[in-house]
Amino acid sequence: MDIPVNHQLTRIYTGGRSFDRELPTVVLIHGAGHDHSVWNYQARHLAHHGYGVLVPDLPGHGASHGTPLRDIDAMASWLLDLADAVGCTRMRLVGHSMGSLIALAAAAKAGDQVERLVLVGSVAPMPVAPVLIDAARDDRDRAHAMINQWSYSPAAQLGASATPGTSLPGTNQRLMERQPAGVLATDLQACNAWLDGLEVAAAIRCPTLLVCGERDQMTPARAVKPLCDALVNAAGGARMMTLPGAGHAMMAESPRALSDAIGKFLK
């Protein structure tokens, strides 16, 4: 469905079912240089298990109008404006990578409006290598190749896939190519510049789940500890789990395991 958010049309996907405000609402937030489609498996799973699902394309991404927002706090405010636009007063937020920072910032801003928080492939701060930011700005093909190299486990690089006959790096390559020029560079700079994550995490009042990939090279489990500690000591508490064998692109590499983990936690 398309709805206006701040006077610009936003494309929102609902997991194959009409959005029902009477059901518990789950908002799934994609990462840098991506769109809603990274969440297709999880969105369908949740929509068929008792949730009203919202999966927006961020501004300037996918089919949403506008230009990409340049900082995480602006994206978090936009997300809460979207919730207001659809009449959502209570929600659960699930974010991946850059989307996890947006979810974290939005949960702090929204207070009790957010009932559960799931951070997938998340660290705070989330530094981005200068060579990747430069490539995203000046040489998209090189940037996409680096992201694919770092996003997937060795098994996925060699052709393993939860969907037989599908190349996960190849699918991700096409997805990144679909985004307008400049989107990836803007997103990566926003991740790199947001340094408030640990302070924000300390203010979270809802329970939080952090999901890590055992083979994640971009946000490795060992780097999650500062964020996990901040959330464990926050009012809502937190726990962390690791998906065996998965890289950073957990939604594609371990779709069932991630869906099960999210579903159990949201209950």
Amino acid residing at 90: R
Q: What is the pLDDT of residue 101?
A: 98
User: pLDDT tens for residues 52-91?
Assistant: 999 999 999 999 999 999 999 999 999 999 999 999 989 9
In whole angstroms, give the CA distance from residue 4 to residue 85.
8
How many beta carbons lie within 10 A of that of residue 63, not counting itself? 14
- Range of 144's domain? 2-266
Mean pLDDT of 2-17: 92
pLDDT at 158: 85
| 186 neighbors 211 (Cβ within 8 angstroms) | no
Q: Report the DSSP beta bridge partners of residue 208.
A: 117, 238
Residue 4's pLDDT is 87
Give the per-residue pLDDT at 266: 95
- Say if CB 122 and CB 144 are below 8 A apart: no
CA torsion, ordered 168, 174, 177, 179, to nearest 10 deg? -90
CB 104 within 8 A of CB 204: yes
Which tens digit of pLDDT belongs to each residue from 155-209?
999 888 888 888 999 999 999 999 999 999 999 999 999 999 999 999 999 999 9
Dihedral sign for Cα atoms in the order 222, 38, 82, 65: positive
Query: Model's pTM, two decimal places?
Result: 0.97
Above pLDDT 90, what percent of the chain?
92
**Domain CATH for 111:** 3.40.50.1820
- Domain count of the fold of the chain: 1
For 211-233, what is the mean pLDDT? 96
At 208 the pLDDT is: 98
Give the mean model confidence (pLDDT) for residues 27-42.
98
Distance CA 83, CA 73 (A): 15
Q: Residues 106-164: pLDDT tens digits? A: 999 999 999 999 999 999 999 999 999 999 999 999 999 999 999 999 999 988 888 88
**pLDDT exceeds 90 at position 228:** yes
Chain centroid offset of residue 126 CA = 13
User: Which tokens in the block code for residue 166?
Assistant: 């599908």
